[in-house]
Structure 1
Amino acid sequence: MTLLSVNVNKIAVLRNSRGGALPDVLHAARTCLDAGAHGITVHPRPDQRHIRPDDVLALGELTRQRGVELNVEGNPFAPSRGDYPGLLALCRAVRPAQVTLVPDSDGQITSDHGFDFEGDNHELAGWIAQFKALDCRVSLFVDAGVTRLQEASALGADRIELYTGPFADAHATGEASASLLACAGTARQAQALGLGVNAGHDLSQANLADFLRGTPDVLEVSIGHALISEAIYDGLATTVGRYLDIVRAA
């Protein structure tokens, strides 16, 4: 069965908009895990607009206690800044089960593209080796239809994460078949190269079943924005339960 990792970044966005400690990121993560989620995802950024390093440390302890996975996303090339020590230093302190490397920048509201593996990938290979030395599984964020996918395997990655934003946009218009075929094709290519396949970005209750039925053997989906938005209306535990029903059925 595909595993569900809940991204709790949006809880931190709400907390940071007011200051103080509410809503509590750790409490939200516990609620998700109590409802059956298989793991927690965070994407700390140097500007600390949402998840902060202290959140990552606390979530690392929580997930260790619960025996579930913590997935830490981020750009390994982004330098340390203020209280943000850099992705490698943060993961060295936390030792998450999985690190998902994403080529985002400060100016992006959210991640909107994956690695293209064009040009010299020597530095990326070096980062991957350092994360794997921490016993972290390494996943690379990629676009559906990416060329030179064999580079991901050659660089030492364990998995890819399919960027599903374009699929979600197409699904909302009722024209998702081409995008879904691209996702399925990239998944099959990755699997043939020995890479596991994760997926994430803009997946929701409205499109998740179609995505999983059309994309073979997805190991994990990371869902945050839609899930937290839906939970405003229906409650966090109820919403996590509905996502779990979808992945079981699909």
Structure 2
Amino acid sequence: MKGELFGVFGLVALSVLVRGDDPSSSKDNPTGPSSGSRRSVQRALEPYNDWVDTWRGVGQPKRGSSKGAWTEEADWAWKIGRDSAGLQFEVKDSKLFQSGLLSYDPEHKKFRFTAKQADGKSRDYVGDRAEQNKLVLVSADKESDDEQRLTIQMLHADRMLLLAESKPAGQSSFSRLAEIGYTRKGGSFASGADSGPKCIVTGGRGTITVAYKGKTYYVCCTGCRQAFLDDPEGTIAEAAERAKKEEAERKKK
């Protein structure tokens, strides 16, 4: 079992180093977000805004058993560039994961996850949003002829579940490798999720402040903070456009 666990895909995000809080005196950075393609990818990922945070996880190869179990700490954060957007995941002390990036392919309308497994090998996953807003990602290994499946689901505002499964060659169905139950670190998210400030970049929950031209804006993570600092004018314009569309949708209802 241990060998299988360490041979499974993985996820990790690197925190973005931010230089300064107020970019109003600097020149425009050409790496800032402005691409239409990037915006479409970002919109597809925005239903998973609630993932952005720090989580405490308990992994169990067998549900209800402490044998082989472990604890870990994970962070989800946005990674946004001029022509790309994705959700990165950083995890410490996991028996399954190292690193990965979740993105979206607008042309094929598929979610894509590029993972670095615990053994250091890379593996690509493709999937769709399923019922109850689950994200199901599947990968086939041509060398070993096995399939692996990752299912991520928000059970409620402060609880997330990640199920890792495998289907070796010759096996007709997937079998469980491990399940990780995550609890949001730092208190309840639900109490302020709807009424609190929103991230200027993605519309998620705003938890970090950033200043521009004497005004304070909110972002949800260091990735969005850097995206704002790279192109504050473009980000503010996009947020205004997004707010107009949301208002128009509300009036239709």
Same-fold call, TM > 0.5?
no
TM-score bracket, normalised by the shorter chain, equals under 0.3
- Please report the TM-score for the alignment, with normalisation by the length of structure 1: 0.27
User: What's the TM-score once normalised by structure 2's chain length?
Assistant: 0.27
Larger radius of gyration: 2
Q: Looking at secondary structure, tell me which structure has more helix per residue.
A: 1
